[in-house]
Amino acid sequence: MTEASATLILFGATGDLAHRMLFPSLYNLLADDLLPHDFLIIASGRTDMAQDAFRDDIDAALQKFLSADRYDADVAARLRAMIAYQPVEAGNADQFRALAKRLDGRLERGVSVYLSTPPSLFAPTAQCLAQAGLIGPATRIAMEKPIGKDLASSRDVNDAIGALFDESQIFRVDHYLGKETVQNLLALRFGNMLFEPLWNATAIDHVQITVGETVGLEGRVSYYDGVGALRDMVQNHMLQILSIIAMEPPARMDPTAVRDEKVKVLRSLRPMDGEAVKVHSVRGQYTPGAVGGQIVTGYADELGQPSTTETFVALKAHIDNWRWQGVPFYLRTGKRMPSRQSEIMIQFKPVRHSIFGRNGGLEPNTLIIRLQPEENIRLLIMTKRPGLDRQVQLEEVSLDVSLSNAFAGQRRRIAYERLLLDLLEGEQTLFVRRDEVEAQWAWIDSIIEGWRNANMKPAPYASGNWGPSSAIALIERDGASWHD
Ligand code: BG6
C-alpha cells in the first residue's frame, strides 16, 4: 500500500449515489479520523452551481441519509470545509484547466478520481484529465458499474481507460465487495477448519444464491430498461458472490492471489446456448400486485410502454472444474419480490448410509448465510428428538449465529466506506480486475445470445412473488426447492 491520496475528485457529485452513499461514507471516515490530514474533495458535476449551494446540498443529504445519532454538526462542518465544487462537462477543456488549477501542488501527494457518472463519460473524462495533465503515477481511478453492456463494449471501456492508467491504478467498483457480509464469506471459508474439507462436489449437492429486492424501477427507467436483471445484478454482484463461494483458497489475502482465484472460477462457468437457456434460465417481468401490503403497478405501467426487459432472472449455472463437477449453482434475483432478502444456501448431500432406518426423519445438512437485511449464519443439523421411541427420531435444529448480536454495539459500515478508504490507500483486493469483468461478460453474453436465438421473452409475474412459476420448476425438476 502506498500513501493515501490527499485529494479525491468526484465526478457525478450531484448524483444520487454521491448523495446517498459517497458523501455519508466520507463523513463517516472523517468522523473516525480516517481521512488524510488536509484532505480535499473536488466535487464536480455538469450543473453550474455555487460552491456554498453545493455544500448546503451535501449537508442536507448527510442529515437525510445518516442516522440521527450519527449526524454531528461539527463533523459535517469539517467535511463541508473540505469540499470544493467545480462544474465540469466532459470535453470542456477550460473547465478541466480550472479543475487542474485547484490541484496545484497536490498531484504528487496522490489523487483518487471517482467516476460516478454514466459509463459513456468514463473514457472522455479520463481523456480530459490526461489533457489537463492530471494523470501521474500517483493518480488512481475508480469506476462504478456498468463497465460496458457486453464483452465487446466492456473491452472498449477497459482499453480506453487502460491506455491512460496502469491496471494497478484502476479500481472497478462492485459495491457488494464492500459489504461486510460478503467479506465475511472469506472469513467463514478460510478462517475455519470446519467447512473447507467439505466444500466440494463430494459433500455438496447444490448451492443457491438469492438476491431479492422489494423495490421496482425507482425512477431509474432510462438506465434500467434494455439492461435488465441479468446485466444489472448477475453480471456483477451475483457472479462476485459466486466466485468467492466457489474459488480455491488463495495463498494470501492480497489483490493478486484473491483475484487470480476468482477469475479461474468465472472462466470455468459453462456457457449457455439457445437450447441450454430454455432449461437453465428463466426471465420474468413484474406485473401489478402487492408487496408488503402495498398495491404496486407493473413494470410496463411504470415505464409507460410494453418492454422485453427482464426484472427477474433465475439460472442454473455449472462450474466446469474439478471441485464443482455436477454441483449446480442456482441463482435468482428480481425486483418486486415478497421480501428484501440476500442469502446463500449450501445444500449438503445426505449421509452415505442411514443407521436410523427409513422413517427416522434424517435430512441432509444445510448452511444458510444471510447477507441482507440481517446478517446471520445458520447451520441446520440433525439431533435426536427427546423421547423413548424404540426407533430414534431425528429432528433438524439450527446452530444460529446472528452477527449483529455477536458484534452488538459495533456500527455496521456502509459498503462505500470500505471501498473509498481502500481506493485512497491503493488497496485493490476488493475491486474487480479487468480479466474478471471480461470473464463475467463472456458468460452473460452467452445467455443473452441464447435468449435471442431461442426468442425467449420475460414471463409475467405478479409483484410480491418470487418470479414466474417456471422459476420454481427450474429447481424442482432437479428434486430441490428454493429456500424462501
Ligand atoms: C445496484 C443495482 O448495483 O445494486 C440496483 O443497479 C440494485 O438495481 C442495487 O437495486 C442493490 O444493491 P443493495 O446494496 O441495495 O443490495
Residue 2: band (very low, low, confident or very high) from pLDDT cuts 50, 70, 90: low
Q: Ligand 1: which atom is nearest the Cα of residue 232?
A: 6
Residues 402 and 447 in one domain: yes
The closest of 408, 377, 247, 383 to 321, measured between CA atoms, is 247
Does 197 reside within a domain? yes
The upper half-sphere exposure of residue 380, i.e. CA atoms within 13 Å in the direction of its Cβ, equals 18
Peptide bond into 36 cis (omega under 30): no
Q: Where are the beta strands (DSSP E) in 224-365?
A: 281-287, 289-291, 294-296, 312-317, 329-334, 341-348
pLDDT at 361: 87
Instruction: Give the span between the Cα atoms of 91 and 434, in whole angstroms.
Output: 26
Cα torsion angle, 174, 176, 180, 182, sign: negative
Q: Measure 174 CA to ligand 1 centroid, in angstroms.
A: 10
pLDDT at 37: 87
Residue 310 in contact with residue 458, Cβ under 8 Å?
Answer: yes
Region for residue 361 given its phi and psi (left: phi exceeds 0; alpha: psi -120 to 50; beta: otherwise) = left
Q: Does position 1 have pLDDT exceeding 80, yes or no?
A: no
Tell me 270's DSSP state.
P
Calculate what percentage of the chain has a pLDDT beyond 70: 100
The average confidence (pLDDT) of the chain is 95
Q: Which three cell numbers stand for residue 151?
A: 464483452
Parent domain of 31: 7-144
Q: Ligand 1: which atom is nearest the Cα of residue 145?
A: 3
Total domains, the chain: 2
What b/e string do you get for 337-354 counting C-beta neighbours within 10 Å, with b at 16 or more? bbeebbbbbbbbeeeeee
Q: Does position 69 have pLDDT exceeding 70, yes or no?
A: yes
Does 215 reside within a domain? yes
Q: Which three cell numbers stand for residue 416?
A: 462505500
Domain termination residue (choose one: 101, 126, 144): 144
Mean pLDDT value of segment 93-119 = 93
Instruction: Give the span between the Cα atoms of 85 and 38, in whole angstroms.
Output: 17
Domain termination residue (choose one: 103, 121, 144): 144
pLDDT at 363: 94
Instruction: Give the span between the Cα atoms of 132 and 359, in whole angstroms.
Output: 75
Q: CB under 8 Å to 443, separation ≥6 — which residues?
A: 239, 266, 269, 271
Does 483 reside within a domain? no
Residues 194 and 105 in one domain: no
Collapsing DSSP states into helix, strand and coil, what is residue 390?
A: coil
Instruction: Give the span between the Cα atoms of 191 and 427, in whole angstroms.
Output: 21
Does 201 reside within a domain? yes
Residues 360 and 460 in one domain: yes
Q: Measure 225 CA to ligand 1 centroid, in angstroms.
A: 15
List the catalytic residues. Answer: 237
Q: CB under 8 Å to 26, separation ≥6 — which residues?
A: 8, 35, 41, 79, 420
Residue 236: band (very low, low, confident or very high) from pLDDT cuts 50, 70, 90: very high
Residues 240 and 342 in one domain: yes
| pLDDT tens digits, one per residue of 318-344 | 999 999 999 999 999 999 999 999 999
Residues 221 and 349 in one domain: yes
Residues 76 and 211 in one domain: no
Residues 226 and 273 in one domain: yes
Residues 82 and 217 in one domain: no
CATH (domain of 408):
3.30.360.10
Range scoring the smallest mean pLDDT among 166-175, 353-362, 369-378, 432-441: 353-362
pLDDT at 358: 78
| pLDDT tens digits, one per residue of 242-255 | 999 999 999 999 99
Q: Which three cell numbers stand for residue 316?
A: 442454473
Q: Ligand 1: which atom is nearest the Cα of residue 223?
A: 6
Does 376 reside within a domain? yes
CATH (domain of 127):
3.40.50.720
Residue 248 in contact with residue 258, Cβ under 8 Å?
Answer: no
Range scoring the smallest mean pLDDT among 91-95, 137-141, 234-238, 300-304: 91-95
| pLDDT tens digits, one per residue of 168-217 | 999 999 999 999 999 999 999 999 999 999 999 999 999 999 999 999 98
Atom 6 (ligand 1) nearest CA: 232
Residue 366 φ then ψ, to 5°: -135, 135
Residues 260 and 139 in one domain: no
Q: Ligand 1: which atom is nearest the Cα of residue 176?
A: 14
Collapsing DSSP states into helix, strand and coil, what is residue 459?
A: strand
Does 168 reside within a domain? no
**Cell 435468482 -> residue:** 332
Atom 8 (ligand 1) nearest CA: 232
Q: Output the ligand 1 site: residues, CB below 6 A.
A: 213, 232
For the chain, what is the radius of gyration of the CA atoms? 24
Does 354 reside within a domain? yes
Q: Measure 53 CA to ligand 1 centroid, in angstroms.
A: 29
The closest of 85, 96, 94, 101 to 43, measured between CA atoms, is 85
Residue 58 in contact with residue 19, Cβ under 8 Å?
Answer: yes
Q: Measure 216 CA to ligand 1 centroid, in angstroms.
A: 11
Q: Distance between terminal CA atoms of the chain?
A: 42
Residues, the chain: 484
Residues 187 and 140 in one domain: no
| pLDDT tens digits, one per residue of 123-145 | 999 999 999 999 999 999 999 99
Residue 397 in contact with residue 379, Cβ under 8 Å?
Answer: no
pLDDT at 219: 81
Q: CB under 8 Å to 315, separation ≥6 — which residues?
A: 234, 280, 281, 282, 330, 331, 332, 447
Q: Measure 213 CA to ligand 1 centroid, in angstroms.
A: 8
Atom 7 (ligand 1) nearest CA: 233
Residues 48 and 181 in one domain: no
CB-count burial class (<10 Å; 0-12, 13-18, 19+) for 326? exposed
Does 360 reside within a domain? yes
Residues 140 and 221 in one domain: no
Instruction: Give the span between the Cα atoms of 298 and 461, in whole angstroms.
Output: 9
Residue 74: band (very low, low, confident or very high) from pLDDT cuts 50, 70, 90: very high
